[in-house]
Structure 1
Amino acid sequence: MIVPQYGRTLSAEEWSPVIDALLEGQHFVLTTHENSDGDGLGSEVALARVLKAMGKEVAIVNPTEVPPNYQFLKKLYPITLFDKKSEEAIQELSLCDVVVLLDANLHDRMGSLWPHVSFAKELGALKIVCVDHHLEPDDFTDVMVCESYASSTGELVYGLIYALQERLGRELFTPEVAEALYVAVMTDTGSFRFPKTTPYVYQLAGDLVSKGADASEIYDRIYNSLTTSALKLLGAALSAITILDDGDISWLFISQDMIKATGSKLFDTDLIIRYLLSVPSVRVAVLIVEMQDGRTKASFRSRGRIYVNQFAKKYGGGGHMNAAGCLFQFSSDKAQMVLLEDLRLFLKNQID
């Protein structure tokens, strides 16, 4: 099989350590980060179907539930939610010899799975493989491909599958694999709007459509299937947005009271941050969400050369240059006080 030559791709040799691990392993658990998104979910579903077609035993086990607008992916491949009472998930983890982490490069992003994976790793019976596109990876895997040039993890998995086809000499793409990868790439490029949407990415998307992905149907399922509670939360949130510092900062705090009053859930907050950067003068958008367990989730978006991943890193978070986040282990009141003061200083230094 010929790898498409219409953009930057990793060579078969560069993919070789990942491919070797996939060929040598027999029982796989695929997972992604907490509060999963389209890129993580689409990438793991696509790779799961490919591994299954190769005769492997494959389970997808995630630390948090699948958001409603991505539930259709579970029809392409079963996704198990991990918790301490989930006997099925615990059994899958105990049996597997390879864990593949997709769309995350820090072990703590695996959430509740990490202690179990770490324990099995210490016993020497488990190999950890990571495929990701975020900055500043942690050193906790046996094999890692982390390429920040990529628009999405889906873009990398697409290249991996072509490299696998070249090694095996057989076709591995199916309409279902194409659909899952299209979800991954489309969502992490903001429907092909973000800066890393290169000509290669557009041609990649066209290739996936030619292989069976229905672009309009996928978009409709993801973006036109909001629940009533999510819409109520959106309405409440939009009225609470604050513009600060002569328009440089847009700021929104979502409390547990707001979430409960609208009957929404944590993952419903993810659709809101895009609106915070819609004011042309805004350089940095901040979304702060009070979590049920008392912790505080913060998400950042920025324009141009305002590298919010560096800001998030200060609090143990990370992400992309213009899209990042972190998790505070303390109350939202304290988080807001700390954040605003630090953000103003950070933004001043970035501009100066």
Structure 2
Amino acid sequence: MSGNKFSKLLKPDTRIYLWIITILVVFVAMYNLVIGIIGVLILIYLQFYNWRSSKHRNKRWQKYIENLSSDIDSAARYAILNLPMPLTLIDFDGKITWYNSKFSESIDSKDILGQNISKVVPHFEIEKAINGEELINIKVREKHYDVLSNVVKIQDNGDERYIMMLYWIDVTDYFKLKNMYRDEKSIVTLLQVDNFDEVIAETKEERRPFLKSEINAKINIWASRMNGLIKRYQEDKYIVLFENKFLDNLEAKRFSILDDIREINSDNNNPVTLSIGVGVQGKNFSKLEEYAYSALELALGRGGDQAVVRKKGNFEFYGGKTKAVEKRNRVKARIIAHALRPLIDESKKVIIMGHSFPDMDCFGAAIGVHRAIINRGKEAYIVLNNVTEPIKNIYEVFKEKGEYKFITSEEAIEIANETATDTMLVVVDTHRPSFTECPELLDSVVRVALIDHHRMGTEFIENPSLRYLEPYASSTCELVTEILQYMGSKTNLDKIESEALLAGITVDTKNFTFQTGVRTFEAAALLRRFGADTTAVKQLFQDDLKTFIAKSNIVSNAKIVYNDMAISVYDQDIENAQLIGAQGADDLLNIRGISSSFVIGKNLDGTIFISGRSLGDINVQIILEKLGGGGHMTVAGAQFRDIEIFEVRDKLVEAIDEYIKEGESK
């Protein structure tokens, strides 16, 4: 620091010299007055000369600065006017106050001064520009731009105002390259003819080669339209590779190959249907194949005759408007039973769990699995947190016997934690973890078996040790009844257990009316042989007067939409509202001219629910899936929280509109 001060003293400064001369003149004047006077005159001249020189020097410096500023302003103006990118000045209202020639060329218009930027460039978001955000991919005619904004303060006669400078960066080449990369990305698609064996078996022998050839030809033609690579690796299974640019068209046509395959004349009662799994946005072919396989599994689990597109974690569904085809043989039931036996034998304890708020099908299936476990000599527990109205009567019968161990979620977790490696979990009548009585229990056990008849949704129990999911079946009780036949050399089934299973089948088929096949009656006949009393089963479903009146009100409140759809909104605080709503939806189908019904109600806890029913022409599952629900083609439901009941009705109407339009676009 002291060195800097010293160096400053050594710098030439006229004032220092003048002060030195002044001091010397004073000393000379003390000894010689004449010489001192001459020195003073010289000093005055030097002062005057220094003042004049400084003034002249300052003028020259000021002129130099002014000339330099003028040069900079000229250069800045020249740079702005000839900037090699479009530039626009706008005020905060969006009015264009200035633009350069490049911007004029980009929009092919010259007379735009004073116009609003949103009119000149459609979809321009002025709010983002004001906030300093970069506007991505603004299309102007055939070019694409990224727009950078900069707010500038201007002084005008003492007044301040602000304008925005918009820099239009041309990214057309990048955009084209990006689209080319996206379009040329590969997609892996797996196709499977759903009921190939059944169709071929029921086709006359001389007609079989022609049927196989027709199926193969339609699939090959479909793949060739996309310039795809197709390989058939089994008689009924194909793999197709094509570019991503064809996917939008496939989705817009809702995978028309599904309709083409269904139109094939097989000369029997079984239509030919196809399931498609599409894997998109995978990092490599291995990941694409994994996505395609999981999508195909989901399509098959939902009953087939549909395409499922998996884009990373998201699933999109197309088709699926026909009923699942019933399998005529019980081979798979026998295989599942033989696979379930060792899993039970390897476990010390087996826990059975259904969905929360269980219905008769869920409870009956749990009782049937309980009997299978007891017959194998193992301890069995049934997780039951709440006894709902549909199972209240039959639950009391089983509780009185004392042979059945009903436990809560907390007790189930405690049992699983004690013997995690030796405990097995059997989930019945649901495949969604969040719908189960205790979702945490799924992570507490090593072995999980799944038995369900619902069409698979996007949420499902992953990697179970055993999965028996058949959407063609009328009920989970039907599947469990078939399994019981093959669990051992002798099936021990009590009368009340057979009645519980028969009650589950009766409820889900609406007294053997809906989704009822040959195997449904065969299962019912087997249960009847074990002593199931149909009169006792009917008594389980008797309503009290209050419930009967509530159902009557639901029917009377119904409004007809689209000529044959009934929607009823029942906004009354009653117990078992969801059960009554479901029964009311069933009753609406008994009215001539109604092919589908939806009942919207509210539980006492504030939950809004929709119960959907159909005679088969309308797929209520697809409609309610749009609202976050699910179920079957003829029976489905959805739930809502923190929303008004009439808002739910509006959402339902929108979902129905969308479903109808999708059907018209096919």
- TM-score, length-normalised on structure 2? 0.46
Preserved CA contact (<8 Å) 2:451 2:467: yes
1:153 aligned residue: 476
Q: State the 1:95 CA deviation.
A: 4.9
SS at match of 2:487: helix
2:498 aligned residue: 178
Matched, 1:243 2:560: yes
CA distance in 2, matches of 1:303, 1:128: 35
Matched, 1:343 2:666: no
Q: Do the aligned partners of residues 239 and 95 (structure 1) sit closer, same or farther apart at CA in structure 2, a change above 3 Å counting? A: farther
1:3 aligned residue: none
CA distance in 1, matches of 2:346, 2:519: 31
CA distance in 2, matches of 1:234, 1:108: 30
Preserved CA contact (<8 Å) 1:31 1:61: yes
Matched, 1:190 2:510: yes
Matched, 1:229 2:555: no
Q: State the 1:146 CA deviation.
A: 0.2
Preserved CA contact (<8 Å) 1:38 1:183: yes
Q: Aligned partner of 1:219: which letter?
A: K
Q: State the 1:90 CA deviation.
A: 5.1
CA distance in 1, matches of 2:469, 2:522: 22
Preserved CA contact (<8 Å) 1:285 1:301: yes
2:467 aligned residue: 144
* Residue deviations 1:55-75 (CA, integer Å, cap 9, x gap): 221121135423256422442
CA distance in 1, matches of 2:581, 2:607: 15
- TM-score, length-normalised on structure 1? 0.83
Q: Do the aligned partners of residues 68 and 150 (structure 1) sit closer, same or farther apart at CA in structure 2, a change above 3 Å counting? A: closer
1:128 aligned residue: 448
CA distance in 1, matches of 2:361, 2:544: 21
SS at match of 1:272: helix
Matched, 1:252 2:564: no
Preserved CA contact (<8 Å) 2:358 2:391: no
CA distance in 1, matches of 2:497, 2:524: 13
Q: State the 1:104 CA deviation.
A: 0.9
CA distance in 1, matches of 2:497, 2:630: 29
Q: Aligned partner of 2:351: which letter?
A: V
Preserved CA contact (<8 Å) 1:130 1:145: yes
CA distance in 2, matches of 1:292, 1:81: 25
SS at match of 1:278: coil
Matching of residues 104-123 of structure 1 within 5 Å: 104-111=430-437, 113-114=438-439, 116-120=440-444
CA distance in 2, matches of 1:147, 1:299: 22
Preserved CA contact (<8 Å) 2:498 2:531: yes
Q: Do the aligned partners of residues 317 and 18 (structure 1) sit closer, same or farther apart at CA in structure 2, a change above 3 Å counting? A: farther
Preserved CA contact (<8 Å) 1:42 1:73: no
CA distance in 2, matches of 1:253, 1:170: 50
Preserved CA contact (<8 Å) 2:582 2:599: no
Matching of residues 1-352 of structure 1 within 5 Å: 7-9=328-330, 10-68=332-390, 70-76=392-398, 78=404, 80=406, 82=408, 88=411, 91-92=414-415, 94-95=417-418, 97-111=423-437, 113-114=438-439, 116-120=440-444, 125-136=445-456, 138-140=460-462, 141-165=464-488, 169-194=489-514, 196-222=515-541, 224=542, 226-245=543-562, 247-255=563-571, 258-260=572-574, 265-331=577-643, 332-350=645-663
Q: Aligned partner of 2:653: which letter?
A: L
SS at match of 1:131: strand
Q: State the 1:50 CA deviation.
A: 2.9
Q: State the 1:202 CA deviation.
A: 1.7
Q: Do the aligned partners of residues 305 and 236 (structure 1) sit closer, same or farther apart at CA in structure 2, a change above 3 Å counting? A: closer
Q: State the 1:164 CA deviation.
A: 0.7
- Structure 1 residues 39-48 or 320-329, which shifts more? 320-329
Q: Which has the higher contact order (CA 8 A, sep 6+)?
A: 1
SS at match of 1:237: helix
Q: Do the aligned partners of residues 249 and 60 (structure 1) sit closer, same or farther apart at CA in structure 2, a change above 3 Å counting? A: same
Preserved CA contact (<8 Å) 1:237 1:272: yes
Q: State the 1:233 CA deviation.
A: 1.9
Q: Aligned partner of 1:290: which letter?
A: K
Q: State the 1:145 CA deviation.
A: 0.6
Gaps of at least 5 residues in structure 2 are: 1-326
Q: Do the aligned partners of residues 90 and 44 (structure 1) sit closer, same or farther apart at CA in structure 2, a change above 3 Å counting? A: same
* Residue deviations 1:168-187 (CA, integer Å, cap 9, x gap): x3333332332222112222
Q: State the 1:110 CA deviation.
A: 0.8
Q: State the 1:272 CA deviation.
A: 1.4
CA distance in 2, matches of 1:181, 1:249: 32
The structure with the largest alpha-carbon Rg is 2
Q: Aligned partner of 1:254: which letter?
A: Y
Q: Percent identity?
A: 21
Preserved CA contact (<8 Å) 1:33 1:63: no
Preserved CA contact (<8 Å) 1:179 1:213: yes
Q: State the 1:42 CA deviation.
A: 0.8
Q: Aligned partner of 2:659: which letter?
A: F
CA distance in 1, matches of 2:334, 2:579: 37
* Residue deviations 1:9-29 (CA, integer Å, cap 9, x gap): 225334333332222222122
CA distance in 2, matches of 1:342, 1:156: 32
CA distance in 2, matches of 1:89, 1:8: 36
Q: Do the aligned partners of residues 64 and 126 (structure 1) sit closer, same or farther apart at CA in structure 2, a change above 3 Å counting? A: farther
RMSD: 2.6
SS at match of 1:145: strand
Preserved CA contact (<8 Å) 1:80 1:89: no
Q: Aligned partner of 1:203: which letter?
A: E
Q: Do the aligned partners of residues 157 and 49 (structure 1) sit closer, same or farther apart at CA in structure 2, a change above 3 Å counting? A: same
CA distance in 2, matches of 1:348, 1:157: 39
Q: How many residues align?
A: 327
Preserved CA contact (<8 Å) 1:34 1:110: yes
- Structure 1 residues 236-245 or 145-154, which shifts more? 236-245
